[in-house]
């Protein structure tokens, strides 16, 4: 299992890849980023900064641990004590230690520890002999046999490796659609305008010279978005803060950020699913059956169920699945690739019947059996992170710490998404 540092490095690499993907079209077209691209890029940069805030303390902690291990590995003979083996004789001998520390080093090295003694000084028969003579006892007698129960005060207890944590702070759906900035939008709610009626009816041809052309109208309406608050808090004693290492405090802050990410991802997934009312059913649970179902869903999406003029900008570009369906569809895709040995089709971002080339994300909190197919632009997510908040409680020597923010999310056009129901459900 990868370490926490490896996982954060992986998250940072994914964010860098996403940022490069946003910048690539602008670089290719020799233009500035659009407002939407800039907002997405800013959101990715903020996420990368948050990952760095969690990663840097762990890297510093690893450096400290590595230096400690190097120091332990270089421990040799104790300072001030005899370094050459001394043979046993019948003549009385004296051993004088210059400091109490020298004696303790010999005492620890005189203990033979069975099993794995990694990180501890190696056993030395010479050290055991010196300790016995210094204590006025015969080497090997019961009085000179020192065991672990005799020296609990000098035995080190090590904390090894980073703190294991399996909370997943990735936000697959939010990252796919892009997090937009909510900070500059006042009020509890705000409206997103959209074109409800377009002047695109009929053919638009003028029947004859000076004849009346095609009439039409343009209606612009708006969709309300409601802000929601997300917050996690904890009461921490001053003693915990003062008596533990700074790394423990960093772990607490990281857990709060992870919980916020998980809470907002669950909310985004739930609202996406709740707003989709179109559906198609897979007739056969095999690769051709799924391809036919996706094509049928594409027809619904492009024409809004027959209510709109078809357009390329309505072509779906994302598959969102629950955990179980990601495994099912993934297995079919792997088998199809293995059989074909080669996959050709339209580029990523345009569904062309080739499931391999359609971006797919697994949203782990969606209910089992869920497959959603749609266009990312039809669903929007906004957020404003308030970050860490804290308040001192003098009467209990404690601190209340919290992490939270605001978010708003919803469909711009629910007809841009369609459910794919597996065969037999």
SS (H, E, C) the chain: CCCHHHHHHHHHHHHHHHHHHHHHHHHHHCCCCCHHHHHHHHHHHHHHHHHHHHHHHHHHHHHHHHHHHHHHHCCCCCCCCCCCCCCCCCCCCCCCCCCHHHHHHHHHHCCCCCCCCCCCCCCCHHHHHHHHHHCCCCCCCHHHCCCHHHCHHHCCCCCCCCCCCCCCCCCHHHHHHCEEECCCCCCCEEEEEEEEECCCCCCCCCCCCCCCCCCCCCEEEEEEEECEEEEEEEEEEHHHHHHCCHHHHHHHHHHHHHHHHHHHHHHHHHHHHHCCCCEEECCCCCHHHHHHHHHHHHHHHHHCCCCCCCCHHHCCCEEEECHHHHHHHHHHHHHHHHHHCCCCCCCCCCCCCCHHHCCEEECCCCCCCCEEEECHHHEEEEEEEEEEEEEEEHHHCEEEEEEEEEEEEEECCHHHEEEEECCCC
Q: Which residue has the tokens 């699945």?
A: 321
Mean pLDDT of 352-361: 69
Residue 76's pLDDT is 44
Q: Would you state the pLDDT for residue 146?
A: 62
Report which listed range, 99-103, 352-356, 394-398, 418-422, is most confident.
418-422
Q: Position of tokens 């919290």?
A: 402
In the predicted model, is pLDDT for residue 164 greater than 50?
A: yes
CA 111 to chain centroid: 46
- Confidence class for position 182, pLDDT limits 50, 70, 90: very high
pLDDT tens digits, one per residue of 287-346: 888 888 988 998 888 887 666 666 667 888 899 999 999 888 888 877 776 666 554 554
Contact 416, 314 (CB under 8 A): yes
Cβ atoms 232, 259 nearer than 8 A: yes
User: What does the pLDDT read at residue 310?
Assistant: 60
Quick one: average pLDDT of 90-115?
70
pLDDT at 218 over 60: yes
Task: Check if the beta carbon of residue 355 is closer than 8 Å to that of residue 290.
Answer: yes
Q: Taking residues 258-286, what's their average pLDDT?
A: 93
Cβ pair 175, 43 in contact under 8 A = no
Distance of alpha carbon 405 from alpha carbon 383, whole angstroms: 7
Would you place residue 266 in the very low, low, confident or very high pLDDT band (cuts 50, 70, 90)?
very high
Q: What are phi and psi of 123, to 5 degrees?
A: -65, 140
| pLDDT band at 163; cut points 50, 70, 90 | low
pLDDT at 275 exceeding the cut of 90? yes
**pLDDT band for position 202 (cuts 50, 70, 90):** low
Q: 7-16, 78-87, 96-105 — which one is most confidently predicted on average?
A: 7-16
Distance CA 358, CA 257 (A): 31
What is the pLDDT at residue 277? 92
CA–CA gap between residue 341 and residue 347 (Å, rounded): 18
Q: According to the model, what pLDDT value does residue 81 have?
A: 46
pLDDT in tens, 360-391: 899 988 999 999 999 998 999 999 999 888 88
Q: Is the pTM for the entire model greater than 0.85?
A: no
Mean pLDDT of the chain: 79
What is the pLDDT, as a whole number, of residue 406? 95
Q: What pLDDT is stored for residue 335 in this prediction?
A: 77
pLDDT number for residue 424: 74
Q: Which percentage of the chain shows pLDDT scores above 70? A: 75
Q: Which residue has the higher pLDDT, 163 or 69?
A: 69
Of 124-133, 183-192, 301-310, highest mean pLDDT: 183-192
pLDDT of 143 above 60: no
Pairing of strands 379-393, 179-181: parallel
- pLDDT for the residue 77: 45
Q: Which of 247-251, 289-293, 354-358 has the lowest mean pLDDT?
A: 354-358
- Judged against a pLDDT cut of 80, whether residue 165 lies above it is answered with no
Is the pLDDT assigned to residue 111 strictly greater than 90?
Answer: no
CA gap 236, 51 in Å, rounded: 24
């Amino acid at each position: 299992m990868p370490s926490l540092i490896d996982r954060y490095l992986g998250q940072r690499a994914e964010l860098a890849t996403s940022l490069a993907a946003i910048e690539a079209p602008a670089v290719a077209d020799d233009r500035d980023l659009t407002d939407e691209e800039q907002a997405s890029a800013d959101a990715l940069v903020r996420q990368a900064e948050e990952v760095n805030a969690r990663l840097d303390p762990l890297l510093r902690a690893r450096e400290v641990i590595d230096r400690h291990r190097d120091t332990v590995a270089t421990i040799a003979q104790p300072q001030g004590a005899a370094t050459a083996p001394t043979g046993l004789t019948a003549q009385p001998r004296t051993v004088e230690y210059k400091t109490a520390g020298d004696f303790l080093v010999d005492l620890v090295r005189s203990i033979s520890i069975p099993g794995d003694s990694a990180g501890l000084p190696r056993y030395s028969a010479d050290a055991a002999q010196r300790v016995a003579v210094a204590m006025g006892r015969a080497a090997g007698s019961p009085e000179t046999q020192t065991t672990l129960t005799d020296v609990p005060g000098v035995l080190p207890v090590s904390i090894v490796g980073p703190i294991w944590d399996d909370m997943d702070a990735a936000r697959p759906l939010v990252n796919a659609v892009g997090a937009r900035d909510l900070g500059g939008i006042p009020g509890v709610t705000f409206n997103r305008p959209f074109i409800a009626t377009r002047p695109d009816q009929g053919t638009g041809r003028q029947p004859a010279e000076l004849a009346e052309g095609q009439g039409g109208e343009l209606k612009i309406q708006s969709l309300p978005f409601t802000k929601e608050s997300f917050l996690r808090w904890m009461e921490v004693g001053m003693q915990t803060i003062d008596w533990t290492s700074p790394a423990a405090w960093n772990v607490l802050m990281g857990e709060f950020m992870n919980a916020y990410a998980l809470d907002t991802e669950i909310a985004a997934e739930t609202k996406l699913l709740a707003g989709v009312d179109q559906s198609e059913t897979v007739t056969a649970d095999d690769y051709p059956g799924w391809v036919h179902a996706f094509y049928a869903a594409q027809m619904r999406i492009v024409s809004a169920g027959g209510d709109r003029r078809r357009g390329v900008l309505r072509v779906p570009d994302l598959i969102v699945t629950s955990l179980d369906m990601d495994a099912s569809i993934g297995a079919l895709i792997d088998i199809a690739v293995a059989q074909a040995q080669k996959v050709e089709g339209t580029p990523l971002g345009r569904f062309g019947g080739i499931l391999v080339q359609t971006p797919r994300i697994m949203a782990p909190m969606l209910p089992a059996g869920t497959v959603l197919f749609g266009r990312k632009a039809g669903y929007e997510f906004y957020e404003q992170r308030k970050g860490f908040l804290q308040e001192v409680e003098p009467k209990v020597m404690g601190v209340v710490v919290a992490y939270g923010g605001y978010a708003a999310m919803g469909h711009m056009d629910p007809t841009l998404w369609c459910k794919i129901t597996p065969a037999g459900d």
